[in-house]
A and B are shown apart, each in its own frame.
Chain A
Amino acid sequence: MSNGRYMADINNSQFKPNERIKQLIERRDWLSENHRRDMYCDNAEFLIYHWSGLAETFSAATGEQAASEEERINIGDNSCRVDVGGPFPYLDQMPSKVNGYEPNVTNWAADYDFFLRHSEAEVFPYEEIVGEFHWQLDEARYYKYPASHKELGLKARELGAGGFSLAHCCPDLKIGLELGWGGLLQKVRDSRARHAKNYNEKSVTYLDASEKVVLSVIDYVRRHSEKALALAEKECDHTIKASYLTVAEVCENIAEKAPSTFHEALQWCMLYMIVERINGHGNGYGRFDQLLQPFYEADVKAGRIDRARARDLFAEWHTKYGAYISFGGVKEDGVSDATNEMSWIGLESYDMVGGYNQLGVLWHKNIDPAFYEYSCDVVGRHGCGVPALLNAEVMTASNLRTGFEEAHANNISYSGCQWYCIPGREYQDQDVNCVVLPAPMFRAIDIAIEQNISEWSEFYNIYTREVDKTADAFADFKNEAYKYHASLWPEMISSLVSYGPIEKGRDITDFDAVDYNYPSVNILGVPNVSDSMYAIKHSVFDEHKYSLKAIRDAYKSDWTGQGEETMRQYLLNLPKFGNDIDDVDQMAILISEQIRAALESKRSIKGGHFRVSLFQYMGHTVAGPYLGATPDGRKSEEPLAHGMNPMHGRNKNGIVATANSFCKLDFRKYQGGSFQIELHPSYFPEDMSRGQFVKAFSEYFFNMGGVQINLNVLDLEHLKDAMEHPDRQESKEIVVKVTGYSAHFVLMDRKFQEEFVKRVNYQSL
C-alpha cells in the first residue's frame, strides 16, 4: 500500500500499526499484489470433483506434477507459500531421485529431510517473527497413487464423485508447545525403544523416519537463529539490528527447548506451520486463545510484556499467514465460556492489520457478549467476512452425533472453510471429497423416461438407487486411496503433535492412528437438485403439465427448442428453496437427508462412516457447462448454487426468509454448511452500530440452528469496477470472503469473480 493508507485507518480501528508493523503490512500486500502467494489447482474438474485425475491434491506450483500455466486455475492468494519463481533448486539431488523412489515412510522422510535442510531460513528486516517457504515437497517428490486408484476415480467421476486425501485436519499445537522440538524428539525415541522391545518392526521403522524429520526441523529452526545473527552483525540500522538480535535469541531458545514466553510460543507456532505446510496443503491450527493465554499470563506476571506488545506481535503473525485458527468457544465442561484476554488480543491485532485472514469466532449461548459484539463489529467494519462467525453448539452436537466422546467434542476448533476439528484427535479428509448431486438425478430422469414411470414415488425410488450407486463408487475410490495413503504420502509433522501416532508408531494417515476417521464429503448442487426435483414433482407428476421427457429434451438442448423458453420460465418460477416456503424447503430437507443417509451407510476402511457437508467451496462457479442445464430452469452457462445457499437471484423474499429456509435443515446432522451474505454498505445508517446488527442477526440465525455465517459488507458495483480496473490501488485492496476462505478479489480467477458479482447485494433486506 504505497499510498500509506492502512486498514486500521480505512476501517476505523482504534488500534493503529506502528512503523515496524507498517513495514510488514506493506510487504504482505506487495507479496499478494504481485502474485507471490497464489494457489493453483489443475483444472475445472478438480474444483467440481475435488480430484483432477492428474495431481493427487491441489496443483503443485512447479516440478513434474505441475499443471501448465494455461490450464491451471488460480484459486486466490490463500497460500502461505511465497513464490520466488522457478523450481526447487536442488531438485535433481533429491534422495528419491538419486537413490530411487519407493512409496514408504523411510524413503519419504529421506526426501523431507533433504528438502528441509535445503530450504533457506528466511529472515527479513523489521521481522520479529520469522518463517517463510518457497517450495512444497510435492514439487520435488513423486506423488501418485497406483493405476487401480485412478481407474476407480474415473468410474466415480462418471457417476458424479471424487476426492483426494491430504492434510485438512487440525493437529494439537499444545503438544508441541509443551514439549518443544527436543521434547518431541525424546518422545519419538522413547516410543521407538518401547516398540523395539516388542519387536514391532513397522513402528520402529516409522519412528526412525520420524526422528530424522524432527532432527531436520531442529536444524531448520536453528538456522533461522544463525541467519539472524549473521544479518545483525552486518546491519547498521539500530532498529533493524535489534529485531535481528531478537529473532536470533528467540529461535535459538526454541530450536530444542520448549517455548517459555509468548513471543517464543508464537514463533514456535509459525515455524511449525511452515515445516508442516512444506509437506503439502494446510491444516487448521486450533484455538489460539487457549494455546497462547498461559504464555501471555506468565509474561505479564514476570513483567516481560504488556497488552500492546502482545498485540503487535500477534498482528505481525497475522500479516505472515492468516491461518485457520479460532477464538472463543467453551471450556472442557462444555458450558462455561472460554474467552480470555488472548481472544481479545488476537482479534484486536487483526483489527489493526485487516485484510486477508481466515480466523473464526466460536459463538455459544454463554459467550462473553462484549467479546462477541466486538467480533461482529470487526466483521461489520472490515466487511470481508473476518472473523467467520460459527456456532460451536451445533458443531459439538454434530460431533457427538457422529460418535465423538463428550470430553473431546467440546474442544471444537474452526479449521477450514466450513469445517471444524478436535485438535490432534482426528483425520477426516474435511472439504476434499465431493459428490456432484445432479449426476444421479440426471440418470434417474433417463431411467424413469425409459421405464415410463408415472408416479412420483417410483421416480424418487429410482433417484435414491442412483444416489446410492454414486455413493458406492465414491466409497470404493476413497478406500482404494486409503490402502496406500500412509506409505505414499505420510504427514509426519502433523503426526508429531497429535494423540496416538507417535505413541503407536504409525502415521496420522494410517489406520487406527488417531481416535476419529469419519471422512467428510462435500455435496455440490443440493439447492439445484432440490429445486429441480420440486419442479419435476409439481409439473410432471402432480399437475401433469409437462412430460418428463419433454423436460429432459428441453434441458438437454439448453432450452433452445420451440416453446422451451416458456417451459423454462414456468419451471424457474415455481417455488424455490430459500424463500421460507415450506413446500419446497421440505424438498430440500428430503434431498439432503437422503444423500446424508446414503453416505452414512458406507464405511471407510479407516473405520468410520462418511459424513456429509452441505458445502462445496468453488465447484459451483465452473460446473455449469460440465453438467449442462438442470430441470429447475437453470441454463447450462449459469453457475450452480454455492453450498446450501439458494441459487443466485432465487431468494426473492429477503435475507430473513433465506435464513429461515436455511435453518429448516438440521445442521447437527451435517459437517458444516456456511451461510453467505453480501451486504451493501448503505444498509447501515450512519448512527447504526454494524456490530450490533451483525450480532443480533447472527444470534437469530444461530438460535435457529445455523452453523456458520460469512458476511461481506461491500458494494458489488465496486467489484465490477475492480474487474475492469484491476490495477487501481482501491481494486487491489478489496478482500472478500469468497466461500469459506478469504482472498484478494482481483487475484481470483475471472470465473470466480463473475460468480461473485452475480450474488444478491442486499441494500435493503
Chain B
Amino acid sequence: MSKTALITQINPLSSHDGEGVRITIFFKGCSLGCAWCHNPETCSPYQEIIWRRQMCIGCGECMSVCKNGALKLGGAIEYIDRQKCIVCGACVERCPSKALTLAATDYSSDDIVRQITKNEPLFKSMNGGVTFSGGEPALQSEFIEEVVDKLSLHNIHFALDSCGQAPFAAYEKLLPKIDLLLFDIKELDQKKHKIFTGADNSLILDNFHKIISYISENSLKAKVWIRTPLIPNYTASAENISAIAQLLNDLPPKSIERWEICSFNNMCIDKYRQVGKSWALGNEDLLTKQQAEEFLSLAKEIAPKINIRLTGLTRR
C-alpha cells in the first residue's frame, strides 16, 4: 500500500525555491509555529476548511448540510466554529460559489510522481528540479523517500526546504538522495526563537551541525543553502543577522553554498482569514530597499567567506 500525504499546493513554475525554475510541493503540517508564517494553511497536519469570505454569496446552502452547527450565518457566513467543525466536507461539497474548499488534497506517492514527470521537461529546461516544501517536509521523510526512489532513474534535481525542526534521522535518510537542502536559521537567540516560533532552536542548531559533518564525512553531493527570513520587529535585527553571519563564517570552507536573506512580505494576509486565524503581522509594512540592503552589507561584512543573496520584496 502506497503512502499518502496531504498536499496544499503544487506550484509547477516556482522561481524562489532553489536553483532555476522548479516544481514545488507543499506538505501540510509543520513542527514550528512562526509568527510570520506565510503558509498558515500548512501549519496543522490535519485537513481544514478554507473559507474565502469575499466569494460567499450568503445562499445558506452550507448551513443546511452542517450537522454540527459549526457555521454561523449573518448576511453571509459570519464564522466557522473550528471547535465544532469535524471537517466532514459536506459544506464544501454543497457550496455553489466555492467559497468553502478543503485546504489540502490527499496524494499518493504515485500521484506526486505523475505530477513531477508531467512537468519534467519544463523544469529541466529551466535548470530547475523538484522542491519539497510545506509545512515541514522532513516530517514526511518516508513519503518523500518513496517519491525520490521511484524517480531515481530520471536524473532529477531534488531540494528539501526544511525549518530544521525534525528528527535527525529524517535528514540522515534523505540527504544522500537529494541535491539541495534549503535550511532555515531564523533566529540565534534561544529565548527569542522560542517566542517567535514556539520552540527554541537547540534541535535546529544541533541538526545543522550534524548535517554539515554528515555531508562532508560521507562526501554527499547535497549542497546546503541557509535561509533567514528578515522579519521587521522579529528576526530583522542587527544582532541576529550578525550572530548568524558569524556562525556561518566560522564553518569549515564550502560547508554551505549560499545564504539567502529573505525580506518579509505580507501577501499572505488573506490566507490567515481563510483558515480563521488572526495574524499579528497583517499590517506590517515591507522593509525599504535601503533597510534590506543594510542588513545585506552587515552580513557580508561579518561573513566575507559566504555567498550571500538578498531575496523577497521591498517597499517601492
On A, residues with C-beta under 8 Å from B are 563, 565-567, 569-570, 572-573, 654-657, 682-688, 692-693, 696-697, 699-700, 703, 763-765
**B122 within 8 A of partner (CB):** yes
User: In the complex, which residue of chain A has the Cβ closest to the Cβ of B23?
Assistant: A656
Contact of B121 among A569, A572, A684, A700 (CB under 8 A): A700
**Which residue of B13, B96, B267 is within 8 Å of A569 (Cβ)?**
B96
A sample of 8 inter-chain contacts (CB < 8 A) reads A570-B96, A685-B15, A687-B309, A696-B21, A697-B126, A700-B125, A763-B267, A764-B11
Q: In the bound complex, do residue A655 and residue B13 qualify as a contact, i.e. CB atoms below 8 Å apart? A: yes
In the bound complex, do residue A682 and residue B313 qualify as a contact, i.e. CB atoms below 8 Å apart? yes
A88 to B59, CA, bound (A): 62
Whether B14 and A764, one on each chain, are in contact in the complex, defined by CB atoms closer than 8 angstroms, is: yes
Is B13 a contact of A700 with CB atoms below 8 Å?
no
- B250 → chain A closest CB, angstroms: 26
**Contact between chains at B57 and A565 (CB < 8 Å):** yes
Q: How close is B141's CB to chain A, nearest CB, in angstroms?
A: 26
Given contacts A573-B98, A693-B21, A697-B122, contact A765 B12 (CB under 8 A): yes
Q: A569-B57, A687-B309 are in contact. Are A692 and B126 (CB under 8 A)?
A: yes
How many of chain B's residues have a CB under 8 angstroms from any CB in A? 25
CA distance A697 to B122 in the complex (A): 7
Q: Please give, as numbers and ranges, the residues of chain A lying within 8 Å of B309 by CB-CB distance.
A: 686-687
Q: Is the CB of A683 within 8 A of B96?
A: no
Q: Give bound CA distance, A569 to B55, whole Å.
A: 9
Chain B 96-133: CB-based contact to A (< 8 A → 1; otherwise 0):
11100000000000000000000101100111000000
A697 to B126, CA, bound (A): 8
Other 20 A-B pairs with CB < 8 A, given A655-B13, A765-B11: A563-B59, A565-B59, A569-B59, A569-B96, A573-B96, A573-B97, A573-B98, A656-B122, A685-B16, A687-B309, A688-B21, A692-B126, A693-B21, A696-B122, A697-B13, A697-B122, A697-B126, A700-B122, A703-B121, A764-B13
Cα–Cα distance between A565 and B310 once the two chains are bound (Å)? 47
The 8 lowest CB-CB distance pairs between A and B, nearest first, are A765-B13, A569-B97, A569-B96, A570-B96, A696-B125, A696-B126, A656-B12, A566-B59
Which of A566, A688, A764 sits near B57, CB closer than 8 Å?
A566
Q: Find the A residue at minimum CB distance from B313.
A: A682
Closest approach, in angstroms, between the C-beta of B316 and any C-beta of chain A?
Answer: 9
Smallest Cβ distance from A377 to chain B, in angstroms? Answer: 14
A697 proximity list for chain B (CB < 8 A):
13, 122, 126
Contact across chains for A656 and B119 when beta carbons are under 8 A apart: yes
Contacts of B97 in A (CB 8 A): 569, 572-573
Question: B285 contacts the other chain (Cβ, under 8 Å)?
Answer: no
Taking CB atoms, residues of chain A closer than 8 Å to B313 are 682
Nearest Cβ distance between residue A675 and chain B, in whole angstroms?
A: 15
Known A696-B125, A700-B121: A656·B13 in contact at CB below 8 Å: yes
Residues of B contacting A572 with CB < 8 Å?
Answer: 97
Residues on B with C-beta less than 8 A from A763 are 267
Q: Which B residues from 53 to 106 make CB contacts under 8 A with A?
A: 57, 59, 61, 96-98
CB distance from B238 to the nearest CB of A (A): 23
Contacts of B4 on A, CB cut-off 8 Å? none
The reply to whether B125 and A684 contact each other, CB–CB distance below 8 Å, is: no
C-alpha spacing A655/B59, complex, angstroms: 32
Alpha-carbon separation in the docked complex, A700 to B267 (Å) = 30
CB-defined contacts of B61 to chain A, threshold 8 Å: 566
Which of B12, B15, B121 contacts A683 (CB under 8 A)?
B15
For the complex formed, measure the closest distance between the CB of B114 and the CB atoms of chain A, giving whole angstroms: 13
Q: How far is the CA of A109 from the CA of B313 in the complex (A)?
A: 62
Give chain A residues whose Cβ lies under 8 Å from the Cβ of B20. Answer: 688
Bound complex: CA A452 to CA B281 (Å): 58
Q: Is B311 an interface residue (CB 8 A)?
A: yes
Q: Are A654 and B13 in contact, with the CB atoms below 8 A?
A: yes
Q: How far does the Cβ of A686 sit from chain B's closest Cβ, in whole Å?
A: 7
Query: B57 to A699, Cβ gap below 8 A?
Result: no
Question: Chain B residues near A686 (CB, 8 Å)?
Answer: 309-311
Residues of A within 8 A of B57 (CB): 565-566, 569
Query: A693 — which chain B residues lie within 8 A by C-beta?
Result: 15, 21, 126
